[in-house]
């Protein structure tokens, strides 16, 4: 199935790549680094990113091959929020495709501390993945570490549930 919702730890994913979304400020405020990366390494990656929309590293001891580190767009209320979040998704999907990944696992980018409701973040994710899959083939997992958000996703889009 090209898109499916999964309730699991993203670090356990066996996809070709996993996506880690954060901001330099969130990392400074104690957000956990990407799986397999120390906090210091993650801060360095985000500092070196500059104008790049995302950065790819090898996954070290994880089951996947790559980790895509992406600055998470925070909701600003300026009318461009959804476009920024959708672009973030599309940039990550394209980067995965550019690295010959046949599968990718994503967290719920934008939800929580970044200001998007779970419902908005889920809807934007489904729209972006659907748009991307019209051009490229890839299996995409949207992983949830929160049962409440997973349940909301299942109610909104039951066709993508793993059950």
Q: Where exactly are the structural domains of the chain?
A: 3-160
**CA 82 → CA 86, 123, 160, distances in Å?**
6, 10, 21
Q: How much is the pTM? A: 0.84
Just list the catalytic residues: 29
124/10: higher pLDDT: 124
Can you tell me the mean pLDDT for 100-121? Answer: 91
Kindly state the DSSP code that residue 29 receives in the 8-state scheme.
T
Closest CA to 3 of 156, 83, 106, 120: 106
pLDDT per residue as tens digits for the range 65-105: 888 888 777 788 888 889 989 999 999 999 999 999 999 99
Question: What is the SS3 assignment for 80?
Answer: coil
Cα dihedral: 6, 67, 50, 114 (round 10): 20
Burial level of 106, CB count in 10 A (0-12/13-18/19+)?
buried
Architecture of the structural domain at 3-160: 3-Layer(aba) Sandwich (3.40)
């Amino acid at each position: 199935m090209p898109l499916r919702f999964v309730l699991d730890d993203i670090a356990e994913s066996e996809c070709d790549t996993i996506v880690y979304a954060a901001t330099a400020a969130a990392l400074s405020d104690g957000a956990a680094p990407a799986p397999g990366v120390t906090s210091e390494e993650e801060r360095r990656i985000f500092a070196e990113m500059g104008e790049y929309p995302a950065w790819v590293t090898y996954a070290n001891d994880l089951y996947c091959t790559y980790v895509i580190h992406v600055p998470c767009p925070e909701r600003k209320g300026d009318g461009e929020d959804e476009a920024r979040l959708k672009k973030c998704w599309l940039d990550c999907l394209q980067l995965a495709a550019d690295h010959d990944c046949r599968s990718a696992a994503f967290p719920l980018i934008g939800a929580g501390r970044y200001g998007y409701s779970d419902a908005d973040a889920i809807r934007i994710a489904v729209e972006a993945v659907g748009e991307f899959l019209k051009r490229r083939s890839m299996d995409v997992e949207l992983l949830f570490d929160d049962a409440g958000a997973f349940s909301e996703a299942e109610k909104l889009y039951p066709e993508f549930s793993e059950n």
